[in-house]
Chains A and B, each alone.
Chain A
Amino acid sequence: AQSVTQLDSQVPVFEEAPVELRCNYSSSVSVYLFWYVQYPNQGLQLLLKYLSGSTLVKGINGFEAEFNKSQTSFHLRKPSVHISDTAEYFCAEDTGFQKLVFGTGTRLLVSP
Chain B
Amino acid sequence: EAQVTQNPRYLITVTGKKLTVTCSQNMNHEYMSWYRQDPGLGLRQIYYSMNVEVTDKGDVPEGYKVSRKEKRNFPLILESPSPNQTSLYFCASSTGGRGPQHFGDGTRLSIL
Contact = CB atoms under 8 A, between A and B. Distances in A.
Interface of A: 4, 6, 9, 32, 34, 36, 41-46, 49, 51, 90, 92, 94, 97-100, 102-105
A92 B94 CA distance: 15
A104 to B, nearest CB: 4
Contact of A102 (B42, B94, B96, B100): B42
Interface of B: 4, 31, 33, 35, 40-45, 48, 50, 56, 58, 90, 92, 94, 96, 98, 100-106
9 contacts: A36-B103, A41-B106, A45-B103, A90-B42, A97-B56, A99-B33, A100-B101, A102-B42, A104-B41
A97 B94 CA distance: 11
B105 A43 contact: yes
